[in-house]
Amino acid sequence: MTEIHCTNHVDRKDRPAEIRAFVRDNPAASNCEIGRRFGVSEAAIRKHRKRAGNPEHQRLFSIPSPQTSASRELSVASILPEAEAVTGDRQVDAMLWLARVCKTATDLATLGKAVEAAKRIKADPEKLRDRYQQWLIKQGAGAFQTVFATMSLGDIDAKAEAARERIATNAEGIAIFGSFETAMEPTEAERMILETAGPMPPGYGYEWPAEAFAGIFARSVNPWTLSDVLAERAYFDWLYKTRKAMFATANPDDYMGDDDAPIEARRYWMMSLLTTIEPVDDAERTVVAQAAVAKGFSDFSKDTIAVLAHLCGAKVREGSSDFD
């Protein structure tokens, strides 16, 4: 902990931000000690602690760093699948084989072999996809099945790039969790939510207001500031992305299940809190605004509008994009 001493040389304009930074960096310091350091009352320090964020929440929802010791799983190269005569069209079958390698490769070296092999296919990918569609239809496949099976099939470059990201994210997940099995177990933050959440009422959903969720998580470790909310959203986004890559690597032909109901509800609540908790200062207001307009913030533009309106002190009339 930073050594605490009295000082009378703090610029009053910068004092609130400096006090909040100090209490964040020195969570064990008492309110009395910090009050003497900055020449303010203990009541004021309690307010600054609140505005600095919930330290236990920040601990639980911090994204861990990969460990330097790599799991043995990282050093095991995947085996190239054998080429199969699926359709009898050599170039279509080669494209299907390449797509399979992109889906199942667990290391970059194996993937690289597939990318090199793709260069030998001279036919137009669109034409190969059309030929594969015609073959599927002759086999009795329905329209939906045909579209799903051939979706982006010819775009090997895009598939290879997605595979590279999956392999890298899987490797990072192994370095953090140690194994696929451990990664699928609830984290400390998730256990906290599952153990403290109240009963899930029927009909809960994305459109519920913040106060409706507040009762469910009244006993949980909860965010105090908008920055805490952003940190929790980032944590769950990271956790989902990591698990998805690890699951796809371990089970290339399966799909990962949904979150438990309290975790899903918690994510809904975090979005609603972004239009409920007041910004600590202009700096936090700016950070949240930048997050709201960033790609991937929400599937719905109305969420972005609501957050930006809240930061401006306005409210969006229900069912519209207009401000009050």
* Judgement on whether residues 294 and 197 belong to the same structural domain of the protein: yes
* Judgement on whether residues 220 and 144 belong to the same structural domain of the protein: no
Give tens-digit pLDDT for 16-53: 878 877 877 776 678 788 788 888 888 877 777 778 88
Query: So what's the pLDDT on residue 44?
Result: 79
Query: So what's the pLDDT on residue 71?
Result: 45
β strands within the chain, DSSP E: none
DSSP string, 228-275: HHHHHHHHHHHHHHHHHHHHHHH-TTS---PPPHHHHHHHHHHHHHTT
Query: So what's the pLDDT on residue 290?
Result: 97
Would residue 292 count as lying in a domain?
A: yes
* Judgement on whether residues 283 and 208 belong to the same structural domain of the protein: yes
Query: So what's the pLDDT on residue 255?
Result: 87
Q: Quick one: DSSP state of residue 72? A: G
Task: Choose one of 177, 198, 223: the last residue of a domain.
Answer: 177
Length of the chain, please? 324
Total domains in the chain come to: 3
**Residues 145, 136: contact at Cβ < 8 Å?**
yes
Query: Considering only CA atoms, which of 15, 13, 69, 67 is closest in space to residue 39?
Result: 15
Taking residue 11's Cβ as centre, other Cβ atoms within 10 Å add up to 7
Give tens-digit pLDDT for 167-220: 999 999 999 999 999 999 999 999 999 999 999 888 888 888 888 899 999 999
* Judgement on whether residues 88 and 166 belong to the same structural domain of the protein: yes
Residue 316, phi then psi, degrees to nearest 5: -95, 130
Encode the chain (324 residues) as per-residue pLDDT tens digits: 444 443 444 445 457 878 877 877 776 678 788 788 888 888 877 777 778 889 999 999 999 988 765 444 444 566 667 777 788 888 888 888 888 888 889 989 888 887 887 778 877 777 888 888 888 888 887 777 777 777 666 677 788 899 999 999 999 999 999 999 999 999 999 999 999 999 988 888 888 888 889 999 999 999 999 999 999 999 999 999 999 999 999 999 888 888 899 999 999 999 999 999 999 999 999 999 999 999 999 999 999 999 999 999 876 555 544 444
Domain extent, residue 134, equals 72-177
* Judgement on whether residues 184 and 303 belong to the same structural domain of the protein: yes
Structure tokens given for 172: 């990072």
Query: So what's the pLDDT on residue 197?
Result: 96
**Residues 261, 88: contact at Cβ < 8 Å?**
no
Would residue 286 count as lying in a domain?
A: yes
Taking residue 34's Cβ as centre, other Cβ atoms within 10 Å add up to 21
Query: So what's the pLDDT on residue 155?
Result: 74
